[in-house]
Amino acid sequence: MSKKSLLRAYGAEFSDDHQVRLLQGAQELFPALIEAMDAALSDIQFETYIFDFTGAGADVAVALMRAAQRGVRTQLVVDGVGTGALPAAWAERLRAAGVQYRVYSPLGTLGLLLPHRWRRLHRKLCVVDGCVLFCGGINVLDDFHDPNRGTLDAPRFDFAVRATGSLVAMASETMDQLWWRMQAVQGVRERRLPEALQALRAASAAQHAARAAEDAAPPSMRAALVLRDNVRHRSRIEKAYRRAIGAARHEVIIANAYFMPGGKLRRALVMAARRGVRVRLLLQGRYEYFMQYHAARPVYGALLAAGVEIYEYAPSFLHAKVAVIDARGDHPWATVGSSNLDPLSLLLAREANVVVEDAAFAADLRQRLVHAMQHAGRRMDPARYAGRPLRQRVLDRVAYGLMRLALWVTGKTY
């Protein structure tokens, strides 16, 4: 199979007409996002899992309202679990300003007891005027605020990118499709069939729409947008990871918040380590959720035995979903996006990652990850892992078993 065919099979249509800038944390993302929204002339498309109005999150909401008030078409989609119903006061302010918003897959009476409700909108995308894309793992959530724990001592560790070029049209198109399909579903539920049919026609037209990408900086970076959904793009993000790891010759660095890779991805990491590639993982070191924390631990053993280095991030919550491979080699590869390496992201959720093949970008991301491992990571000792207390091992196995049971209920294999 040719290289071009491989890229198409994995959903990564690369082109070299991009400019991609790495942004670390909401402290770098939000000012860039607000600047773009304040300069918007025609439309803003925005999707996020969590929209929290505390602290800096309110600044993003106000920027959306400013844009809508001056006539910019502003569409906001939030997830029904991550955000739920918007706070009444903010919902009214957004409506009054002219911001159109929808909640993706509201839970309803039975909530998450219904397995089909486990399919969430987890991607974080914003397209402004069809020209600028923001994509990554960062929710609209203040870096120093946690909805469950209050004020954090250190900022959340996470990344996003600002991108221009042909991938922006693909992001805009997939957001348009979701928006109009949601409107169609709402129309059917309310028996407004003519409006629903009109929305479906708009969704079909959106599939063929292309927007010109413009930027003052000369485009020169090779990049692609890789999507995951439950229809056409079911395994593209995982395959992109596996292909890049399989081609690695020197180094693999992955930072991932919720890490429970399936058998194929685990084998790819083990095989890379065994052929002499230095494989380093920066993973969640602070307890956040029972399932994600404990279910990850049983997979560490085989990785450590193969020589994979595992570092646990300690100062705050690690929320990154990034990787960089062979940054100093002839074929640098890096990705920044919303997809964890766990069953929820790789089998159920709508996700979006930007993949970049550029030496300068890869070097920048690598430097930040290496600094975090060296100054904020605790390296896991294989002997200490093997000798962890019985209670912790039992909890790890219980969580792992529950995760496998949940997959069985959904009919998925992993």
Other beta carbons within 10 angstroms of residue 260's beta carbon come to 25
CATH number for position 160: 3.30.870.10
Same domain, 48 and 149: yes
**Average pLDDT estimate for 145-159:** 95
Same domain, 152 and 98: yes
Cα(132)–Cα(40) distance, integer angstroms: 10
Catalytic residue list: 122, 124, 129, 319, 321, 326
For 290, the domain range is: 222-410
* Verdict on whether the full-model pTM lies above 0.75: yes
pLDDT tens for each residue of 272-331: 999 999 999 999 999 888 988 999 999 999 999 999 999 999 999 999 999 999 999 999
pLDDT tens for each residue of 220-241: 899 999 999 988 888 999 999 9
Half-sphere exposure of 16 (CA within 13 A, CB side): 3
Same domain, 269 and 316: yes
Confidence (pLDDT) at 407: 83
Same domain, 179 and 270: no
Share of the chain above pLDDT 70, in %: 89
Same domain, 160 and 109: yes
Q: Which of 178, 207, 236 is the last residue of a domain?
A: 207
Confidence (pLDDT) at 212: 41
Burial of 391 (0-12, 13-18, 19+ CB in 10 A): exposed
Match 């918040």 to its residue by tokens.
Answer: 257
Write the secondary structure of 186-203 as one string of H (helix), E (strand) and C (coil): HHHHCCCHHHHHHHHHHH
Cα(324)–Cα(337) distance, integer angstroms: 12
Same domain, 247 and 114: no
Confidence (pLDDT) at 5: 40
Confidence (pLDDT) at 113: 82
Q: Is residue 216 part of a domain?
A: no
Q: Is residue 2 part of a domain?
A: no
Q: Which of 167, 182, 207 is the last residue of a domain?
A: 207
* Contacting residues for 209 by C-beta, under 8 A, at least 6 apart: 169, 172, 173, 176
Q: How many domains does the chain have?
A: 2
The identity of residue 141, as a single letter, is: L
Q: Which of 167, 184, 207 is the last residue of a domain?
A: 207
Instruction: Determine the 3-state secondary structure of 44 from DSSP.
Output: strand
Same domain, 187 and 336: no
Q: Is residue 366 part of a domain?
A: yes
Mean pLDDT for all residues in the chain: 89
Cα(157)–Cα(356) distance, integer angstroms: 20
Cα(218)–Cα(213) distance, integer angstroms: 12
